[in-house]
Amino acid sequence: MNIHFVTDEKIAETSSKGNQEKWKDGNRWYKLDQFGYEALAESAVSCFLEQSNIETDTSFHFTHYRMERMNVHGRDRTGCSSENFLRPGQSIITLSRLFRKNNIDLKAALTRLPSDIRRVSYLAETTADLTGLRDFPRYLALLFEVDALFLNDDRHLNNIAVLEQDGCFDYCPIFDNGAALLSNTQISPMDIAPKALISSVRARPFNTTFNRQILSARKLYGSQLRIRKFSRSEIRDVLQPMLSYYAQRDRGIILDRVNSIVVRQVSLSASSHNLRPLAALKKLSSRRALFVYLLIFVIYNYSK
């Protein structure tokens, strides 16, 4: 286990830079756990995303995080680190800043819109217009799919960003999944069963359900994320080295939570793939639909 020593001057927490205490040292950013096991969430999500199509089949990227043990002001703390994704001369512009700079009251604009689908398309397409990033809508759909899969409820408009250099824009690697996997143990206490917690988490930035947010984005821009299914033993193998940074009594609970969250991926991908057959059935008259339902029922039962 690495121990990274930090001197007093290195701690540079600013409220404009998010919630967790963080600082840049050399070419890496370091973040300390604050409300629970954020570092494990960051590291595990980036490990799972390595098994996805993001960096192989799309032009988008994600930030890779790794666990760190740090001695901060004389105390051993757990956190994570990631390589600085900014190239020299580049800056990160969060969507809240981008809209403010263009004198758009984003909150008011979104509140005026009547549905999730209209809000997703407004955010996606206005950002594409302001930056010239024509694929931004697909980037946003991908981001919402990642959030839904890992239950990240912290995708506010400072955690969605673009990169800028001399007036030219680029896609920002997906960053800050620290609130995923129910990591905030103050909001998601360790003694509450994962199932109850999972059903109460709301998706940001639109404060809706994860299903509605991804269905809206997929309906508009298609499904972007391809990721293979993980078995319980694969999840355990990914988590095992990360769990050693946390108290023994919490390890089993964290693993159980991550299992409960990640196995939902079957129903999340099913919900989009099932859309087309269901929509087709809805178009049939009710007698024909009943006949088709019965046929499916009989075939299903006889094939068992």
Ligand X SMILES: Nc1ncnc2c1ncn2[C@@H]1O[C@H](COP(=O)(O)OP(=O)(O)O)[C@@H](O)[C@H]1O
Measured from each CB, the residue nearest to ligand X is 18
Concatenated DSSP letters for 117-179?
A: HHHHHHHHHHHHHHH--TTHHHHHHHHHHHHHHHT-----TTSSEEEEETTEEEEPPB---TT
What's the rounded Cα separation, in Å, for the pair 137 and 140? 5
Q: Is 176 in the site for Mg ion (CB under 5 A)?
A: yes
Exposure pattern of 18-32 as b/e (b: 16+ CB <10 Å)?
bbbbbbeeeeebbbb
Q: Which is nearer to ligand X, 27 or 103 (CB)?
A: 27
CB 37 within 8 A of CB 281: no
Give the one residue of 10, 19, 117, 268 binding ligand X; rule: CB under 6 A: 19
**The one segment of 62-70, 128-136, 159-167, 269-277 that binds Mg ion by CB under 5 A:** 159-167
Query: What minimum distance in Å lies between the beta carbon of 18 and ligand X?
Result: 2
Give the one residue of 33, 68, 116, 176 binding ligand X; rule: CB under 6 A: 176
Give the one residue of 43, 52, 78, 82 binding ligand X; rule: CB under 6 A: 82
CA 166 to chain centre: 29
What's the rounded Cα separation, in Å, for the pair 69 and 243? 12
User: What residues numbered 29-48 form the site for ligand X, per CB under 6 A?
Assistant: 29, 31
Query: What minimum distance in Å lies between the beta carbon of 35 and ligand X?
Result: 10
Amino acid at 21: E
Q: Which partner in Mg ion, ligand X, none is near 78 (CB below 5 to 8 A by kind)? A: none
Give the residue among 1, 131, 120 at the shortest CA–CA distance from 69.
1
Query: What minimum distance in Å lies between the beta carbon of 84 and ligand X?
Result: 4
Burial of 228 (0-12, 13-18, 19+ CB in 10 A): exposed
**The one segment of 17-25, 96-104, 111-119, 285-293 that binds ligand X by CB under 6 A:** 17-25
Q: Is 173 in the site for Mg ion (CB under 5 A)?
A: no
What's the rounded Cα separation, in Å, for the pair 124 and 198? 27
Q: Is 171 in the site for ligand X (CB under 6 A)?
A: no
Q: Is 96 in the site for ligand X (CB under 6 A)?
A: no
Q: Which is nearer to ligand X, 63 or 216 (CB)?
A: 63
Q: Is 137 in the site for Mg ion (CB under 5 A)?
A: no
Q: Is 68 in the site for Mg ion (CB under 5 A)?
A: no
Name the token pair of 138. 């697909």
Which residues does residue 173 pair with via DSSP β-bridges, in sequence order?
Answer: none
**The one segment of 131-139, 145-153, 155-163, 207-215 that binds Mg ion by CB under 5 A:** 155-163
Chain contacts with ligand X (rule: CB under 6 A): 17-20, 22, 29, 31, 63, 82-86, 92, 159, 175-176, 178
